[in-house]
Structure formats: C-alpha cells, structure tokens
Amino acid sequence: MIKVFIVDDHEIFREGIKRILNEEPDITVVGEADNGNDVLKGVQKTECDILLLDLNIPGVGGSYLIEEIIKKKPKINILVLSISPEGEFVLPLLKAGASGYVCKNSNLDELIIAIRKVFSKGRYLSAYAAEKLAFNVLAESHKLSRNLTSMEQIIMSSVVKGDETVNIADEFDVSIASVYACKRKILKKLNLKNDVELTLYAQKNNLIVN
C-alpha cells in the first residue's frame, strides 16, 4: 500500500484529492498539512511513502522546505504538485531532493501515475514541465558556449575530434603551451573538468565547429 501525505493550504482541494486517492486499491492517505511548519512536524510523526507537496503554502517553503524534509526523513519521496510548470522553477526543486513534479492543471490519471512511478523509486515530470526544463537547460548550455572566442571554439572542436595537442599546435602555428592554456580557459568557461567532459558536452549540445 502506498501511503500518501498531502500538503496544501486549500481544504477543499485536500479533501478532493484525499477522496480520489483513497478510492485507489493500492493508495491510502495517511496525513495532511496546510503549512510548511506543520508538514515538518507531520512527516516525523507519520509513516508515509509519498509527500504530495504544494509549495505555495504559508510558512517555510520552496527548495528549503524540501531540503529540510529530506533531512528529517531521507527515504521519503516528494512529489511536488504546483500551479507553475516553468522549467527554471522545476530544476532547483529536483536538486533539493524532489522526486517528481506534476502541474495542478494535469488530469487525475496523471497524478495517480506519478504517485506510483515515484513510489517505485522512479522520477516523474509532467510533459509540459519536462519540455520547459529541457529547453532551459539547453538554452543555458548554448549561453555558456557563446562565451568562447572563435579560436576557443575551433580548439574545442579539434580536442573533441581527438586531435593531439602537438598536432593542434602545428595546425594553427602556435606553441603547445598556448594550446594547453586555451584548453584551460575553455574548461573554466564551460565549468568542465577535463577533455572527456568537454567531448561529451560538445557532442550533446552540437557545438562542434567543422
């Protein structure tokens, strides 16, 4: 049985979700709260598998609330239920420890699917939220790449294609030390550690210059 704890500051919404979930043969609602302070107390007293969490509630909220809940109950699975589908809003919540994100305008079938998916130790994002998240991550990658000079982009392409440092130096008539210095600048600008990460990054984001 999947034990769900509901957190939302609208009583009518909580009652509606509770009734719907309790009709499922494998789901039961074991607790509820309407503010951030009460949920922190509630998860310690109540044995639950899924915390269905609306972050727009009185008291402590946002990523900080998720982090505090995880500290008190590390094994709990947090499924955020919110009115906002924006990707830039989702990513910090996932980093804080949330297992999934469902928009409030989703249908009830999707909510139930999300609960079961998260319970099975998976992750779940509403389709629109996932699309927005992917778009924002990709946009950030291209923003970083635009910080590279033309020569840095060419050097990056040579590194990604597997060219040796000495050959890169010969091709562009620069010293080997200059190539190494250029590679260090590229890695720093893209927040990467080594050539392997640079190769994966460039391939993933289609940044190779021919």
Q: Give the pLDDT band of residue 69 (cuts 50, 70, 90).
A: very high
Q: Are residues 79 and 61 in the same domain?
A: yes
Domain CATH code at residue 47: 3.40.50.2300
Q: Are residues 117 and 29 in the same domain?
A: yes
| Closest C-alpha among 62, 50, 57 to residue 124 | 50
Percent of the chain with pLDDT over 70: 83
Q: What is the pLDDT of residue 55?
A: 82
Q: Are residues 49 and 109 in the same domain?
A: yes
Q: Are residues 79 and 173 in the same domain?
A: no
HSE (side-chain half, CA atoms, 13 Å) at 201: 22
Q: What are phi and psi of 78, to 5 degrees?
A: -100, 120
- Specify if 153 maps to a domain: yes
Q: Are residues 148 and 179 in the same domain?
A: yes
Q: Which two tokens stand for residue 145?
A: 């790449």
Q: Quick check: 14 and 60 in contact, CB under 8 A?
A: no
pTM for this structure?
Answer: 0.63
Percent of the chain with pLDDT over 90: 32
**pLDDT 10s digits, 170-189:** 877 788 998 899 989 888 88
Q: Which two tokens stand for residue 187?
A: 């890695």
Q: Which of 7-11, 21-25, 143-147 has the lowest mean pLDDT?
A: 143-147
Domain end residue (candidates: 132, 158, 173): 132
> Residue 164: helix, strand or coil by DSSP?
coil
Owning domain of residue 187: 141-204
CA torsion sign, 37 to 40 to 41 to 46?
Answer: positive
- Specify if 210 maps to a domain: no
Q: Are residues 172 and 123 in the same domain?
A: no
The CA distance from 210 to 191, in Å, is: 23
Q: Which two tokens stand for residue 90?
A: 């989702």
- Specify if 209 maps to a domain: no
Q: Are residues 70 and 123 in the same domain?
A: yes
- Specify if 47 maps to a domain: yes
Domains of the chain: total? 2
Q: Are residues 75 and 26 in the same domain?
A: yes
